[in-house]
Amino acid sequence: MDKVGRPTTYTPKVLEYTQQYFEDFEPWYEVPYIKTNKDGSSEEKMERVSNPPPSIMDLHRYLKSKGLTISRWSLYDWNDTGETTEIKEFSQCIKKGISRIYPEILQENAIMGKYAQPFAIFAAKNRMGWHDKQEIDHTHHVEPFIIQNPEGQTLITLGSQSASHKTP
């Protein structure tokens, strides 16, 4: 069956710039500010400002700044579907980049006090697969313990499916 609709605007440049976007991404940047002291003097200091986590919307802006005119919705589709080998590479690049950068951003910004603790925990659970409940495997099978007399008669069976005890 032939595909319908407009041809894709995906090019190898999209993957190249997406890789560059994730390589150059920083969790924070520094901006200068003037601090006025109690004695009236002032000094210039640097303050860390947190970057928001990487997103398709931010990637869209970045690609646009590089001269690529691609709709944001195409980026979402390419990230979700991975129809061709080239687009699968793009999708994997995004997943790999986010999985590498997101924990670092979360950690840096939480330490700097930019994120509230409940938000940081919630984000870690949703984005990075963290969980705070203990999972117990109830499928383990215990073999029954059988007590026999010297003649080989079963006297008692412990740990069997039935709760009945066998006596000679």
DSSP 38-105: TTS-EEEEEEEEEPPPP-HHHHHHHHHHTT----HHHHHHHHHH--SHHHHHHHHHHHHHHHHHHHHH
Domain ranges of the chain: 12-115
pLDDT tens digits, the chain, 168 residues: what are they?
556 666 678 888 999 999 999 999 988 889 999 999 899 899 999 988 888 888 899 999 999 999 998 989 989 888 887 667 778 898 899 989 988 888 888 888 888 788 888 888 888 888 777 777 777 777 777 777 788 888 888 888 877 554 444 544
Give the amino acid at 152: G
Distance CA 167, CA 20 (A): 76
